[in-house]
Chain A
Amino acid sequence: MAQTMGPTLKRKRLATTWKSMKRNWQLYLLLLPTLLFFTIFHYIPMYGVQIAFKDFYANMGIIGSPWIGFGHFERFFESYYFWRLLKNTILLNLYQLLLFPLPIILALMLNELKNSAFKKWSQTLTYAPHFISVVVVVGMVVAFLDPITGIVNLAIKGLGGEAIPFLTSPEWFRHVYVWSGEWQSLGWGTIIYLAALAGVNPELHEAAKVDGATAFQRIWHINIPSILPTIVVLFILNIGKFMSIGFEKVLLMQNSLNSETSDIIQTFVYETGLLEGQYSFAAAVGLFDSAINIILLILVNYLARRVSENSLW
């Protein structure tokens, strides 16, 4: 556009822009503190990502430390734990993603409830765990699954089974992690779908009933198509968080006995970077993780746009 404009016109436009900015300077003043915050706590760290390609020495600073190229990445890719970390990260997130339909199903069920008091109570009670901190949730998991005193193992033993060391066995880590998370977030996850369902035209349902459609048919042919755009957008957002969800909880649940499955890329970044002080190496591993994230997000968004015309951008 700019090329098609004459130089005088361009200057004129710049001048009006400048004038409008001067007239509205107070708006920029209102924005300033937040922009400063984003610069310091988001953009300076982005600039600091370069330590992933350097050998960072604290006394030389980020800029002064020597460049080494892709050395840290190579070391990470060639290390024996690389495949284990990648596999654990992907499997844990895939497992989590598999449960994506559950809040949709619960929302469809809640939406069918005709007794509004019962519906409201169900919502209030199922939302509640969302407000419990991750520390307390893991604390509850630890207490309930204790091999000797935990209620779950007491029940298993009561039924004649053998106590299962849920928290210290690699086979159980993923199940415990994902399902305790589902306990916490299932209800909360229905909110958006319920709002979308509230927007469905009731006349469609009336007409379908007259035509003899069963409840399942109405849900399948009216409700689900109506909320499909919401489902697609939330699915993309979920993929965007792939590789990065729930790391704070994994860290709490991790111990030396279950690390075979609980070691994920992000806990590894925390350990090598902050506990062992290998800043550059850990930053490289972290960068690898966010790169995968972005690629996935862009890919899924592209696919969604082609398949369903619903996408983030």
Chain B
Amino acid sequence: MAKRIEVEDLDVYYGSFQAVAGVSLVVEPRTVTAFIGPSGCGKSTVLRTLNRMHEVIPGAYAKGRVSLDGVDLYGPGVDPVAVRRLVGMVFQRPNPFPSMSIYDNVAAGLKLNGTRNKQELDETVERSLRGANLWNEVKDRLNRAGTSLSGGQQQRLCIARAIAVRPDVILMDEPCSALDPISTLAIEDLIGELKEQYTVVIVTHNMQQASRVSDRTAFFNLEAQGLPGRLIEINDTETIFSNPSLKATEDYITGRFG
């Protein structure tokens, strides 16, 4: 189920503004890849093109090729809705549906896509909550509102919601930036477990986090404000952090940059 992502020569535009230029990279199955770089360098934008979420923003479009196990996500006849069922996403701020209980939040993807089988739903909810390390904390109050949980629990609920639909890839857009250190640790542990089954791509501002959770790291940068962001370097995380091949990467990682 985990799948290999290939990005070739990707350009992304917001209307007439080019946000990202010429990005090519490969993400292997069952690995964690971290996108790092300064604000505005396009790392979140690239992440969103991996499940076509950038199309939600009016005027945004991408050129180039993004493929999942060789199938072009932007090919003719490809439905963005279908892409997003295979490539799930977790956002910066926890965003459980306020009108739904914990149970319904996790079951949302299946239920809203037509699954009505109670037993299947129950199993999926338990499996997903266990998968998100949240089961023991909420198993006695599955009918409480999802928004009644703490911020860290809400974020794990959102991860459970994302894995409930059995995606091939999970994208995480700064999933810990709104959380306290203890909740952050819980999520980082979880990311380590998720990669046993899924391909994970995570955007983070926190370099320690990137070095802790990821197998590979991609460094994005932009030459100046108003110019498009570019992929500067991608390599094994250890190499990037210990022995980067480019000076810009080293400057950024050692804090001499921005």
A binds B: no
